[in-house]
Structures are given as structure tokens and as C-alpha cells.
Chains A and B, each alone.
Chain A
Amino acid sequence: MAFGAFQSSAPPGAPVASAQVQRKSPVALWLLLPGVLYLVLFFVTPLFSLVITSFEEPVPGGFMGEFQTGFRWENYVEVVSTYFSHIGRSFLYASLATIFALLLGYPIAYVIGVKLRRYPLAQALSLVLLIAPFFISFLLRTLAWKQIFSDEGFVVATLKTFQLIPSDAYLTGTPFSVVFGLTYMFLPFMALPIYTTLEKLDLRFVEAGGDLYANPFTVFRKITFPLSLPGVISGTLLTFIPATGDYINASRDFLGATDTAMMGNVIEANFLVLQNFPAAAALSLILMASILVLVTIYTRRSGTDELL
């Protein structure tokens, strides 16, 4: 959805796509200038600020949070060695959440986009339900899970009654609850782009597969899934990227504990609490660089590098 829209051609199904003649005119400059300038000032320059900050050194004899320009590359070595486990956890939790969100999101996108086509009203209503989570504070929704999973809560009590977990077990503050929360938070981001591609899926291809004696599984593997791939790629990126940087679910006040902290948590702590700005900046840049590398490999592998 989001990424497909940046392809240079008009979206498929655009009725007047051929009539879109692109002119050269100074008007273009005036249309582009404010927005582009804005993004240069408040998106590109901050990235340079991060680079400068990440090399800063403490002022000799200064107070906490006092730094001066320098070239202290050791900052990077220090954050990697200090926060190695946090970096690993971020990518592990985000990958798990992406896989679970795909396993949960694809079927629901399929049901709404394909199975419900004959019932437009039901389709429209299901779509509203799918985007409903966007309209209610995500922090409160995450807290709702915390309370549902709390030690006095219904879930833990039931599991204990059936002796599925030991009587001293708990669910909040575990890697399980963090991955659960991440999966929940980004499920709509996964399902919506997949829905957009499946909704346009030409069912005649599926019928043709059946006519050629392919079983439903083969039809799915060879026809439906490949045709929905652009949606799957957008969905996985829209889940994985924000999930690696998330610090709500892994936060102690929400679904995490100290030993589930992710990169986002240490960036926040270093920047806003410890005032160790260089460490926070170095970690942010490491996070961004790793994501860009992973995303590039991923999109190349899936054979859709035109997405960028």
C-alpha cells in the first residue's frame, strides 16, 4: 500500500493513466518547494544532528548531559558492547512479531478481500472493524492486555486452574507478553496492505488453477500468494520497521520488564533520563542503518526492488 504508491507509474486500474501527460513547468518547483524544504530541515538535518551528536565527547569536569563536539568514535564501540543483548532482542522480537502478524493477518485479509466480496455490506463493516484499533489510544489498548494478563487476571487464573502453567508462573513482563503485544499492535498494519492486493485479485486465475486440477493448497501457493506478494512485502515492512524501534510494549510499565528491554527503551533512557545524548544518537543510527540494510536485502530477495 504505502510503498507501492511510490512507484513511478500510476496505480493499476487508473482509468486515465495513459492521459497523464507530465509537463515541464516552473509551477512544479513552487509545488514541491515548501514540502521538500520542510523535510530537508526537519528530517534530513536531524539525521546529521544525530551523526554529530553520536561523536560528541563529555566536557571535562562538566555536569551530566554536558557534551562538546568531538570525534569520539568509541561511543559506537561502547554502545554496541553495552547494549548488545538489547540490539539482538529488538531484531528477534520484531521478527517473531512480524511472522505471527503475517500468520494472523493474511487469513483475515483473505476472508475480507476475497470471501466477503459477494457481501459488500459485510465486507465494508469488517474493514471498519479491521481499522477500528487505529481510532483508540494504542497505549490504552496495550494496557488492556497488561491487565488481562495480570497475575490476578482471568487468563492466568484459568491457565493455573487447568494446570497448564505452574502456580507461581506469570505472563506480564516476559518475552512472551512483549512479542504478543508487538504482534497485536502491528496486526492491522500487516493485514491492510495484504487486503488491498487481495481485494483486487482476479478470481479467474484461481478458477483456472482449479480447472487444471490443482488442489486448493497448490492454487494458493502458486497463484494467490504470489499475486498478493506486494501486499505481503508492504505489510511485513510496515510491521517489522516500527516493531524494532518500539519501546512501549517492552517498557516496564506496559508488557515488559528490565530483562526484555529493546533498543527503543535504551535510546529513550539514554536520551531523556540519563542525558547521555551521544550514546542515544549512536544507538539510533545503528538501528536505522541495520534496518536499511535488512530492508534492502529483503526487497532484493523478494525480487521487488522497484518498491524503493
Chain B
Amino acid sequence: MRGLGKYLLWVYAGLVMMFLLIPIVYTIVFSFNDSRRTNIVWRGFTFDNWLTVCNAQDVCSAFGNSVLIAGVSTVLATAMGTAIAIALVRYRFRFRQATTLLLFLPMATPEVVLGAGLAAQFLQIGAQKGLVTIIIAHTMFCISFVVVTVRARVAVLDPALEEAGRDLYGSPFQVFWRVTFPLLLPGITAAALLSFALSFDDFIITNFNAGPEMTFPRFVYTAAARGIPAEANVIASAVFFAAIALVLVSQVRAALKRRRLAIS
């Protein structure tokens, strides 16, 4: 009975994993579909969609916008979020509770409320919606996630290392760039990647604040009514392969490092 239970758990977990992966496989497979106008029925294998991605109208410009928006928002959110994370761990200050609440609330607010709120504000001040308003919105919701990610890294950073830097007459600036920053880099990189992914795939907040500007998710959403071109699948699949490669490399490197440390 107990053996059977164990077996069942593995099968169940395997089925859940399949459930998670089916739409990914589906999306990738259909990027190779020899589709003409709509990409719903399988018509045969082809590389054409991959070779002529930018032929479908607006796909590539929407993709370019998404990369630009994600890049700028990531830099802004990572800089501000890292500073907050260091302050939260290292310093005592008044209004700490209020600050943590301010950082927590954006993560506990549904995107549709964040989107509608910003849109209402832009409407009141009469701001023109476009790339800038999208970047403002994305930076806003990324900050909290950066703080959470970097904070964990600051918490395990030994302050004695920075003290040593100061003892050796390093200026605060030197200590930060030569000691603190390199030690925090893995956390900062993780936070930046998370921000980039969140921004790149965001649709709901973007849709409220984009005006006429297209992003990749907006392109997919508007195309959904009349049928998604296979080129959209190509772009999504390419992004997926790049991200998976990045994650696999970092995982393997971390595993190798752990092994080296275990041996020595």
C-alpha cells in the first residue's frame, strides 16, 4: 500500500509537469507550421516562419518596443530597488513599517488596479500615453520584486568585509564598488533578469497605459481576435530558448561550484 502511494505521487507529479509544459510545446511546434493566414490547423513542417520572421506586419517592431521597454525599466527598477534593499538591511530609520508596506502593496494589488490607477493619473494630468508611460508603469511594479530578491542577498553579506575595506582607507564610494557591489552581483543579476521577464511579458498594466504604442504581448492580444500569425510563435519560442539556455548555464555553473566547494 505504501509502495503504491509513493508510485502514485511520482505519476501525479509527472502528469502535472506535462500539464505545465503542453502549451509551451504547442507554441513552439506551431512556430514551424506551414500556415498561410491563421495558425490553427497543422499544415506541415516548415522553417519559413523562422527565416522570415519580420514579414508579418508589426511583429518585429512590437518585439523591439518590448525589448526597449524591458531594458530601460529593468535598469531603473534595479538601481532604485537595490538601494532600498541595502537600506532595509543595513540601516535603522523611522517609518520602516510604512516603507515595507509601501513595497509590499504593489505586489498585493491586482494588475488591473495598478493599470487603471496610472491611466487615471495620466488622464488627469493630461499626459500623452506612449513608450514613456509604459516605462514608468513597468519600473513601478518591478521595484518591489527587485527589493525582495536583492534583500535576501544583502542579508547574507558579511558586513566585516566592508569594514575591512573601510579600515584600509577605502572611501565609501570605493568600498561600495570594490566590495559591496561585486558581492551583491548575483542577487542584482537575478533581480534584473526577473524585472526584464516581468516587464517583457506584461500585458494588463501595459494595455491601460500604452495608448497607440505596440508591445509584443499587446500585438498577440489584438491579433488573437483574427488569428495569431506563426511569426509571433517564432518570436516567443526564440525568447524561450534564449532564456532557458541562460538559466541552464547558470544552474550548471552553480552546481559545479557547489561540487568544487564540497570537494575542497
Contacts and interface: CB of A to CB of B under 8 A. Distances in A.
Contacts of A176: none
Nearest to A42: B140
Given A247-B204, A254-B224, A108 B155 contact: no
Interface string B69-100: 00000000001110110110111110010011
B67 to A, nearest CB: 14
A5 B153 CA distance: 11
Interface string B152-191: 1001111110000000000010000000000000000000
Nearest to A17: B155
Given A24-B91, A140-B232, A141-B23, A111 B123 contact: no
Given A124-B251, A137-B220, A150-B40, 7 more contacts: A16-B157, A25-B91, A35-B143, A105-B16, A108-B16, A139-B220, A237-B108
Nearest to A187: B20
A237 B100 CA distance: 17
A133 B139 CA distance: 22
Interface in A1-19: 1-3, 5-6, 8, 10-11, 14-17, 19
Interface in A104-148: 104-105, 107-108, 110-112, 115, 120-121, 124-145, 147-148
Interface of B: 2, 5, 9-10, 12-13, 16-17, 19-24, 26-28, 30, 40-41, 79-81, 83-84, 86-87, 89-93, 96, 99-114, 116-121, 123-124, 136-137, 139-140, 143, 145, 147-148, 151-152, 155-160, 172, 197, 201, 203-204, 207-208, 216-217, 220-221, 224-225, 228, 232-233, 236-237, 239-240, 243-244, 247-248, 251-252, 255, 258
Interface in A156-180: none
Contacts of A105: 16
Contacts of A49: 117, 120-121, 123-124
Nearest to A180: B19
A241 B113 CA distance: 11
Interface string A26-67: 011111101110111011111101101100000000000000
Contact of B17 (A28, A32, A129, A141): A129
A53 B84 CA distance: 31
A70 interface: no
A39 B136 CA distance: 10
A198 interface: no
9 contacts: A6-B148, A8-B96, A22-B91, A28-B93, A32-B87, A133-B23, A187-B20, A242-B110, A268-B112
A272 B111 CA distance: 15
Contacts of A124: 251-252, 255
Q: Chain A's interface: helix, strand, loop or mixed, by majority?
A: helix
Contact of B80 (A21, A35, A44, A104): A35
B155 A20 contact: yes
B113 A287 contact: yes
A268 B118 CA distance: 13
Contacts of A38: 80, 139-140, 143
Contact of B102 (A36, A112, A127, A143): A36
B117 A188 contact: no
B207 A141 contact: no
Contacts of A138: 201, 203, 217
Nearest to A104: B16
B201 A45 contact: no
Contact of A10 (B80, B155, B201): B155
B84 A271 contact: no
B118 A46 contact: yes
Interface in A202-218: 216
A134 B201 contact: yes
Contacts of A188: 20
A280 to B, nearest CB: 6
A39 B159 contact: no
Contact of B239 (A121, A136, A263, A280): A136
Contacts of A30: 83
A131 B193 CA distance: 13
Contacts of B228: 140, 143
Contact of A31 (B5, B83, B225): B83
Contacts of B251: 124-125, 127-128
A47 B233 CA distance: 36
Interface stretch (A71-79, A225-233, A288-296): A288-296
Contacts of B90: 20, 22-23, 28
